[in-house]
Amino acid sequence: MHKEHWLKSELDQLKQAGLWRSLRSVTTAPTGRILLDGREVILLGSNNYIGLSVHPIVVEAAATTVQKYGTGASASRLMSGNCQLYADLEAKIAKAKGTETALVFGSGYLANIGTIPVLAGDGDLILSDALNHASIIDGCRLSQATKQVYRHCEVEHLESLLAQSTKFRRRLIVTDGVFSMDGDIAPLPEICALAERYDATVMVDDAHGFGVLGETGAGTIEHFGLENRGVIQMGTLSKAIGGLGGYVAGSAVLIDFLVNRARSFVFTTGLPPATLAGASAAIDVIRSAPELRQRLSSNVFLLKNALVESGFQLLPSKTQILPLILGSADVASRFAEVLLSHGVYAPAIRPPTVPEGTSRLRISVMASHTTEDLETAVKGFVAARAATQIDSSTHPKQHD
Ligand SMILES: Cc1ncc(COP(=O)(O)O)c(C=O)c1O
């Protein structure tokens, strides 16, 4: 045991810096109200944006599939784990995304860390937005390519880096579609135009766009009308889709390449068949039930307006992710704790998830919230502000 003293002292340092992370126990499905550590609270920290993880059609599809196939795939997809349900799911993803085909991975994290290193290697350049998700950052770290980070959503900076990139064999621009902790949307039309001018490939991580953005809920590319621009669309089945898994949608040759080269595809077990059936059903519901997206938008409108009217200044998000910047990790943790004591759960997001000095509450809205849930939540925010005496009407520090 004594050999582990250093672990404890590092954890103590995390605690002192307000960066301690611990697990809470949830004993209900992720809807507007959950039981958290045995207590009912309003949930403002879930990605189950349109409630598909508990949608009757999705649950039924998963339940009948688990009866037929059992609980697990038992092998990697290239061995005996390629359940025929993958074909249907991948066809649905490709259709929604307007691509030739698609490939499902075990998670979004695995999709990013497997795809980026095989798309860009030694002699290539990766250009990555400063606020990209950790799984993109880790994918870049695993790549042998040169990496350059451009300032968040700043196309001028991206262009200046592209203009100096002629010595590289290939260029890959990678960006979140909807930024997971800021809720803003990447300027994809401008990024695509630059990519065409400088002969670069664009890869977008649509984890928070699929199911939410666009006329049919197909995501960020549909939102901007950028189908047919050759963007590689990566995403996850774990957020609005309500299940688990990641995907890459693109050309058939790209997908063949990934099947042969992406290590996080090759060396891991396939997803449980019930998860595949649930995701397929969820994608059908996204298309057939636009009212879920409408309810989400009206809930976003309601909560955002109520918070702003109560004097809270949110980051200018255009999506269901509403960030309230509080500054230091310690302050954000305290605010979240007091908020929780008032029955509202919006977790504090601290470094390294967000840059130093921009710790925040990431408030995420769901279609399943009732008006009463949202009104009660706002009262909780007001009470937490009073109790912590935090001035949330100004941004202590913006990231750059
Ligand atoms: C932008 C983004 N990309 C990728 C992921 C990883 O997806 P998954 O949870 O399916 O591993 C997440 C969320 O965790 C995310 O927010």
Instruction: Take atom 8 of ligand 1 and give the residue whose Cα is closest.
Output: 108
* CA distance readout (Å), 211 to 51, 113, 235, 303: 11, 23, 11, 20
Residues of the chain above pLDDT 70, percent: 97
- Ligand 1 touching residue 32 (CB < 6 A): no
Residue for token pair 């290590």: 263
Confidence of residue 2 (pLDDT cuts 50, 70, 90): confident
Cβ pair 103, 259 in contact under 8 A: yes
Enumerate residues 6+ apart whose C-beta is below 8 A from 189: 224, 226
Instruction: Please state, in angstroms and rounded to a whole number, the distance separating the CA atoms of residues 333 and 186.
Output: 28
Instruction: Please state, in angstroms and rounded to a whole number, the distance separating the CA atoms of residues 316 and 300.
Output: 13
The CA 237 to ligand 1 mean position distance, Å, reads: 9
Instruction: Please state, in angstroms and rounded to a whole number, the distance separating the CA atoms of residues 213 and 190.
Output: 18
Mean pLDDT of the chain: 96
User: Where does 134-234 have alpha helices with state H?
Assistant: 134-142, 155-163, 188-197, 220-224
**Structure-derived torsion over alpha carbons of residues 262, 268, 274, 275, reported in degrees to the nearest 10:** -50
Pocket test for ligand 1, best of 112, 140, 203, 239 (most atoms within 8 A of CB): 239
Instruction: Take atom 4 of ligand 1 and give the residue whose Cα is closest.
Output: 108
- Ligand 1 touching residue 184 (CB < 6 A): no
Residues of the chain above pLDDT 90, percent: 94
- Ligand 1 touching residue 135 (CB < 6 A): yes
Specify the CATH architecture of the domain 22-53+290-388: Alpha-Beta Complex (3.90)
The CA-CA-CA angle for residues 280, 283, 288, to 5°, reads: 125
The CA 109 to ligand 1 mean position distance, Å, reads: 6
Confidence of residue 397 (pLDDT cuts 50, 70, 90): very low
Instruction: Take atom 10 of ligand 1 and give the residue whose Cα is closest.
Output: 108
151-162 burial code (b ≥16 CB/10 A, e <16):
ebbebebbbebb
Query: 260: part of which helix (H) or strand (E)?
Result: helix 252-261
The CA 135 to ligand 1 mean position distance, Å, reads: 7
Cβ pair 366, 50 in contact under 8 A: yes
Q: How many Cα atoms are found within 13 Å in the side-chain-facing hemisphere of 210?
A: 34
Atom of ligand 1 nearest to the CA of 238: 10
Confidence of residue 390 (pLDDT cuts 50, 70, 90): confident
- Ligand 1 touching residue 242 (CB < 6 A): no
- Ligand 1 touching residue 238 (CB < 6 A): yes
For helices 290-309 and 371-388, the axis angle rounded to 10 degrees is 30
Q: Which of 342, 364, 366, 354 has the alpha carbon at shortest distance from 395?
A: 354
The pLDDT of residue 386 is 93
pLDDT tens for each residue of 311-331: 999 999 999 999 999 999 999
Q: Which amino acid is at 383?
A: A
Q: How many Cα atoms are found within 13 Å in the side-chain-facing hemisphere of 366?
A: 28
- Ligand 1 touching residue 109 (CB < 6 A): yes
What letter does residue 26 receive in the DSSP assignment?
A: B
Atom of ligand 1 nearest to the CA of 132: 1
Residue for token pair 């935090």: 390
What letter does residue 19 receive in the DSSP assignment?
A: -
Instruction: Please state, in angstroms and rounded to a whole number, the distance separating the CA atoms of residues 311 and 342.
Output: 18
For CATH 3.40.640.10, the residue range(s) in the chain are 55-288
Pocket test for ligand 1, best of 236, 237, 321 (most atoms within 8 A of CB): 236
The CA 175 to ligand 1 mean position distance, Å, reads: 13
Confidence of residue 18 (pLDDT cuts 50, 70, 90): confident
pLDDT tens for each residue of 41-86: 999 999 999 999 999 999 999 999 999 999 999 999 999 999 999 9
> Does the structure show a pLDDT above 80 at 399?
no
Q: Which CATH number fits domain 55-288: 3.30.1360.200, 1.20.1050.10, 3.40.640.10, 3.30.300.30?
A: 3.40.640.10
Residue for token pair 């698609």: 102
Confidence of residue 389 (pLDDT cuts 50, 70, 90): confident
The CA 236 to ligand 1 mean position distance, Å, reads: 6
Instruction: Please state, in angstroms and rounded to a whole number, the distance separating the CA atoms of residues 90 and 93.
Output: 5
- Ligand 1 touching residue 108 (CB < 6 A): yes
DSSP string, 39-58: EEEEE-S-S-TT-GGG-HHH
**Residue 175 tokens, joined:** 């960006």
- Ligand 1 touching residue 222 (CB < 6 A): no
**Residue 383 tokens, joined:** 């009470």
The CA 112 to ligand 1 mean position distance, Å, reads: 9
At residue 117, φ and ψ (nearest 5 deg) are -65, -25
The CA 176 to ligand 1 mean position distance, Å, reads: 10
> Does the structure show a pLDDT above 80 at 273?
yes
- Ligand 1 touching residue 205 (CB < 6 A): yes
- Ligand 1 touching residue 132 (CB < 6 A): no
Cβ pair 383, 343 in contact under 8 A: no
For CATH 3.90.1150.10, the residue range(s) in the chain are 22-53+290-388
Catalytic residue annotation = 180, 208, 239
- Ligand 1 touching residue 207 (CB < 6 A): yes
Confidence of residue 393 (pLDDT cuts 50, 70, 90): low
